Amino acid sequence: MKKTFLARRNALLSSTTSVSWGLVVLGCVFLLVSIRFLAPNFFLHISTPFFTTANGLTTSFSAWTKGFTDASTLAKRNTELVYENQALVFENQTLVERLRDVGELTDASLPEGVITGVVMRPPESPYDTLVLSSGSADDVSVGMSAFGAGGVPIGVVSAVSEDFSRVTLFSAPGVVTQGWIGNERIPIELRGVGGGAVEVVIPRLVTVARGDLVFVPGPGAIPFGTVARVSDDPSSPEVVLHVMPAINLFSLTWVTVRHAGRSL
Amino acid sequence: MRMPTGALTLLALGSTVFFPWGFTSVLALLIALREPLAPLVVGIAFDVLYFAPGAYVFPIFSVCGFVLSVGAFFVRERLRTSIIR
């Protein structure tokens, strides 16, 4: 007669006879948790080489995939972008000179700030946060605003250690930012939904079209992005605007941090 | 050749830094079939590395990792139902 053995087994552990690697790795992660809370600056120092390597791998992979695109199309697009860039540089220089002239008359000055490198950014980060390579030692403090290229506001500094700081982007889930839309500067609320995306809910009566500029305070009204898509449900009294930031948050390499009178 | 469970778990932990979070999440779910603690490890690693005040109400990836690990535990318990050795 065949005997039946009911072997008692712990399904949580992958192995009961040798080391359960899940528990070992979990222990290592809890060690990292304790380092993060007890010595946040040291934690970011030991994490930075890994983030830098990840950024390098992402850039190399992106360059490799672009090699499969039609070369003539890429060359044509490159030429167009070079001309566009030259025109924008000249326009920027003209505007800077005009601002300097106005500043001499009104004693106003160009905004200054701390220019800092970005150590980690989305999409590696699931929270729409940035880690910057400047901290309290470089006069960065909680509540300062972060600006990308062209002075586009992107987020607010939410945590600072001695040599590093973390920025919560406006697109982080649950972040609400006051702003305006269109030439009429209609007041709106920008709500982050994650993944670099921002949504605005407005009454149906407000006339808004795709391509309209969206502004945030910084001080004054600073362009943040454009309306990329309008979701219109006929049964709803409101429409949802999907805003695309002017800056690609997934490819930030440096930002400027300064006080702008904003908080999360 | 089957990959050792430890190597898979370390791969999931390393992917939190080197790969986009969507890819890492899918990887953790697949590894959960062999190692039920993998989602919890990945979730806590995400929050340790990337969570910042104001980014979300609470460390959601740790909570999701815990829930998925508990689910993987029950699935793994039900899958191995052979009583004859």
Which residues in B lie closer than 8 A to residue A36 (C-beta atoms)? 48
Amino acid at A152: V
Burial of A109 (0-12, 13-18, 19+ CB in 10 A): exposed
Chain centroid offset of residue A163 CA: 20
Burial of A50 (0-12, 13-18, 19+ CB in 10 A): middle
In which band, very low, low, confident or very high, does the pLDDT at A99 lie, cut at 50, 70 and 90? Answer: confident
Please state, in angstroms and as integers, the Cα–Cα distance from residue A17 to each residue in A79, B5, B41, B78, following that order: 64, 14, 21, 21
Do the chains contact at A12 and B36, CB–CB below 8 Å? Answer: yes
As a whole number, the mean pLDDT across chain A is 82
**CA distance linking residue B80 with residue B85, whole number of Å:** 12
**CA distance linking residue A75 with residue A73, whole number of Å:** 5
| pLDDT, tens only, A235-247 | 888 999 999 888 8
Instruction: Give the pLDDT of residue A202.
Output: 92
Residue A13 has pLDDT above 80, yes or no: no
In which band, very low, low, confident or very high, does the pLDDT at B85 lie, cut at 50, 70 and 90? Answer: very low
| pLDDT, tens only, A219-228 | 778 888 889 9
Contact assessment for residue A137 and residue A162, using Cβ atoms and an 8 Å cutoff: yes
> Could you give the percent of chain A with pLDDT greater than 70?
85
Give A189's strand partners: A178
Express the helix, strand and coil content of chain B in percent, nearest 5 each.
70, 0, 30
CA distance B38 to chain A (A): 7
Q: Residues of chain B whose C-beta is under 8 A from some C-beta in A? A: 4-6, 9-10, 13, 16-22, 34-38, 40-41, 44-46, 48-57, 61, 73-74, 76-77, 80, 83-85
Contact assessment for residue A170 and residue A200, using Cβ atoms and an 8 Å cutoff: no
